[in-house]
Structure 1
Amino acid sequence: MSDPDSVAVVGGGIVGSAAAHRLAREGVDTVLFDRRDDGRATDAGAGIVAPATSSRTDSAAWFALAREAAAHYPDLVADLEADGVTDHGYDSCDLLSVAVDPDEVEAFEAAKRRTQRRSETDGTPSPDTFEEISVERARELFPPLSDAERAMVYRDQGRVDGRTFASALRSAGERHGLSVEHADVTDIALESRPGGTDDTTVAGVVVEGERRAFDAVVIAGGAWSGTFADALGVAIPVEPQRGQIVHLAVDADTADWPIVSPFRHKYMVSWPGGRVAVGATREDDTGFAPRATVAGLHDVYGEALRVADGLADAEPVETRVGLRPVSRDGLPVLGAAPDVEGAYLATGHGPTGLTLGPYSGALVADLVRGVDPEADLSAFDPERFR
C-alpha cells in the first residue's frame, strides 16, 4: 500500500503509540484504538535500553535492529521535546554488569569477550564507554551492592519508563492530528480485491459493533495480537509471558544510580525520587493472568537481596505485572500480513519491547505509507510463519 488516507492502529502500548505518532507526524489521518488492557507489558516494564550488553547472540538481525533502536531514542526524544512534550520518562544512565557469586564469573567473562567483539566488529559499544572496574568502585556507584566477584560498567546506556513514554508519544501525536479512542476493536473488515484473486484488502475495523472505514490497519496489540489471526487469515503465533516487578522505596538519592544487571535473568533499575525497580520473572504458560504470585515475588525478592543486600530495609511500594508478547521464534513480528492488502503487524517483542518498540513502530508506519524502512526487516516478516 502507498499513502493511505486513513489508518487504524490497534493497541496503545509503546509499539502502537510509536506507529501512530509517526503516521500522524507524516500527515496521515490516524486513529489509535487503546483498550488499556490490564497487564499490558508497556505499563509494567522497567525499561533497560542497552542492547550492547544483551546475551542474545543467536540472531544477528535482532542485534542489528536493537542497535538502531537504541540510537533512535535520542532523536525521538528530541522530536517529542520539540513538540512541547518534555515528560517522556527517558534518560541516559550507566549500567553495571556484576558477577555476584563465583558461579557467575564464567558468564561474566563471556559477556566481556562478547562486548569487546561487538565493539571491534560493529563499533557498538564504543571502546571508551565500557571497562571492568573494582567491586569497591561498583559499590560507590550503587551503594546497596552485595559483595561480588567482578564488575563492568557500561556508560551512556538508557532507561525508560514505558508507561510515561507511550503516553508522551500519544500526546505528541495528538498535536499532529492523531485521534486516540479508548475502545475495543473486535474485528477487521475486509473486502475482496478486484480482478478475481483470492486476496483481500482492508476496508476498516469493527469497533464495539460499529464498522469504521479505514484504508489500512496496524495490529500492535501486544500479547493480545493473536486475537486477529482468524480475521486476517494469517498466523500470529504470539503468547503472553508473565513478568512480575517490584518497586522499592529507599532513603537515598537514586537519580544517578546505574542499572544493575547480574547473570540470573533479573535486573535493578533506579529512578529519581528514591525508587528502585527489581524484576522480572519470566513465566510461560500462565495465560492472560496479570497477577502477582507468592512464588514470583519470592523469586524477585530473593534475587534483590542476593545482588544488593543493602536493600534489605527498602520499602515495597508497588508491584507491577505485565504480559510480554513472545513470538514462536522469539523475534518480533513486523511487516505486512500475507495476502491482505493494508494489514500490518507490529508485535512479538517479548522482553525487549521497550528497547525495540519505538523504532519498530516507526518502521512499520513507514511500511504503511509505502516508504522503504531504513532497517532490514526481512528476518521479522510475518511470512515466516506461513
Structure 2
Amino acid sequence: MRVVVIGAGIVGAAAAYELVRAGAEAVLVDAVHEGRATAAGAGIICPWTGRVADPLAVAGAGHYPGLLAALAEDGRTDVGHREVGALVLLPPDGEAAEQVRARVTARAAADPHAGEVTTVDAAEARRLFPALGHSGGSFQGTALHLSGAARLDGRRLQAALVAAAERHGLRTLSGTASLEARDGQVRGVRVAGELVSADAVVAAAGAWSPALLSPAGVHIDVVPQRGQIVHLRLPGSDTSDWPVVLPSGSGHYLLTFDDSRVVVGATREDGTGFDHRVTAGGLAEVLRHALAVAPGLADATHLETRVGFRPTSPDGQPLLGTVAPLEGLVVANGLGSGGLTAGPYAGTVAARLALGRAPEPDPAVELDLSPYDPMRFAPA
C-alpha cells in the first residue's frame, strides 16, 4: 500500500515514520513554506495546566516515551528532549490560586506521565529557575512544580523523524502538491508535474491546508495564527535543567535549552495572514511578559525571534480523521499552540487511519476522535 503525506512538519513527519514502520510505502511531500509552526514552536510538553482539558494533548504526552525509544533504536537520540519539570506560577489572589491548584492536581492525578505535583515557595522557585530572581526585584509568590513536564527541540525532532523514516524507505519530494481524485476516491498527488499515485493521502499541511484541499471540494476551516517567539542567551549560565515556567493566566511561558538559551513567548495574533515579520509590538509584548516574571533576563543577549503560523480552527480544537466525501483522504490539522505536544501522536493516528486501522488504545487516555471530525465546519 502506498500513502502520500503532504506536509513535513511534526505531524506529517510522524505520520511518515509510522507508515514506513508499519511496512507501507510512503512518500512525504513538502513545500517548505516560510513560517512553519514546527520550526518556530517552543517545545513544551505539559498538557495538564490549561483551563480547558485537552485529551489529544494528554495522549500526545503519553506517546513520547515510546516514540523516543523507537527513534533511539533507529539511531536518532538527539532531539533536544529532556524531562525538566514545570513551574506553574500561582496568581496572588488566594481563591484564584486554589482553583489553579485544584485543576492541575486533579489532571496530574489522572495521568501517570504528569509525575508528582508539589508546592514550592518563592526561594525554591528562584533556585530552580534563577532568572526569576534579580537584584532589582524578584518573584515572591508560590508555584506548583510538575515533575513530568518536558521540553524538546521541534526542529531536531522533525529532522530525526524524517531521517529515521528514510532509513526505512521513505521517499521525500520538495514542491507544492495538488490532490488527484476521481469518483470520490483519492488517486494520489501531483508535484511539479509528476503524478504520484497513492491508495491514501494524509493532509498535514498546517495553515496551508485550505489551499491544498479546496480544489478537491474539501472545506477545511483553519487559519494561520502568527506566533512570535524570542530566543535569548544568558552567557555563563547552565540552563540545561531549568524547568519550564508557566505564569498563570497570561498564556506566555519561559523554557531553556542546553546552550544557555532561554526561549520566551509567545504572541497569539489572529488576522495576520501569512505575514512573516517580527513586529515591534510583538517583540515588546513577549519581552514585557518575560521580564515581569523573570527580571534576571534583563541582561540576556537577543539571539533571534522566530515566527510561525499555528493552524487554528474556529472552536480551537484539532481536525483529525477521515473525510467521508473523499475516500482515502485523512486530515491531521488545527493543533494550534499544542502542535509539538500532540503532533507526533496525531500523525501516528492519521497514519493508522490511512492504513485502515484504528488508533492503538492507551490505557491512560480514553480518546474519542469524533470531536475532531475534520468536516464539522463544512457547509451543509
In the alignment, does 2:370 pair up with 1:378?
yes
Distance in 1, Cα, partners of 2:225 & 2:164: 30
Residue in structure 1 matched with residue 308 of structure 2 by the alignment? 322
Residue in structure 1 matched with residue 149 of structure 2 by the alignment? 157
Deviation at 1:228, TM superposition (A): 2.4
Deviation at 1:202, TM superposition (A): 0.8
Deviation at 1:124, TM superposition (A): 4.9
Equivalences for 1:67-86 in 2 at 5 Å?
67-86=58-77
Deviation at 1:65, TM superposition (A): 2.0
Residue in structure 2 matched with residue 60 of structure 1 by the alignment? none
Deviation at 1:373, TM superposition (A): 1.2
Residue in structure 1 matched with residue 211 of structure 2 by the alignment? 227
Other structure's SS at 1:180 match: strand
Q: Of residues 244, 256, 259 in structure 1, which corresponds to 2:244?
A: 259
Q: Of residues 118, 131, 134 in structure 2, which corresponds to 1:131?
A: 118
Equivalences for 1:251-330 in 2 at 5 Å?
251=235, 252-263=237-248, 264-330=250-316
Other structure's SS at 2:89 match: strand
Deviation at 1:155, TM superposition (A): 0.5
Distance in 2, Cα, partners of 1:169 & 1:231: 30
Residue by residue over 1:128-156, the C-alpha shift from the partner in whole angstroms, topping out at 9 and shown as x without a partner, is 61111110010000111032322111102
Distance in 1, Cα, partners of 2:232 & 2:191: 39
**Residues 105, 117 of structure 2: 8 Å contact kept:** no
Deviation at 1:64, TM superposition (A): 2.3
Gaps of 5+ in 2: 133-137, 361-366
In the alignment, does 2:190 pair up with 1:206?
yes
Distance in 2, Cα, partners of 1:248 & 1:71: 30
Equivalences for 1:33-112 in 2 at 5 Å?
33-57=29-53, 63-99=54-90, 102=92, 106-112=95-101
**Residues 281, 300 of structure 1: 8 Å contact kept:** yes
- For 1:370, the aligned partner's letter is G
- Root mean square deviation of aligned Cα: 1.5
Residue by residue over 1:168-215, the C-alpha shift from the partner in whole angstroms, topping out at 9 and shown as x without a partner, is 100110011011122211x211111xxxxxxx1011111123322112
Q: How many residues align?
A: 365
Q: Of residues 215, 230, 243 in structure 1, which corresponds to 2:227?
A: 243
Q: Of residues 154, 162, 165 in structure 2, which corresponds to 1:173?
A: 165
Query: Normalising by structure 2, what TM-score?
Result: 0.93
Distance in 2, Cα, partners of 1:275 & 1:78: 26
Deviation at 1:167, TM superposition (A): 0.7
**Residues 119, 143 of structure 2: 8 Å contact kept:** yes
Residue in structure 2 matched with residue 355 of structure 1 by the alignment? 341
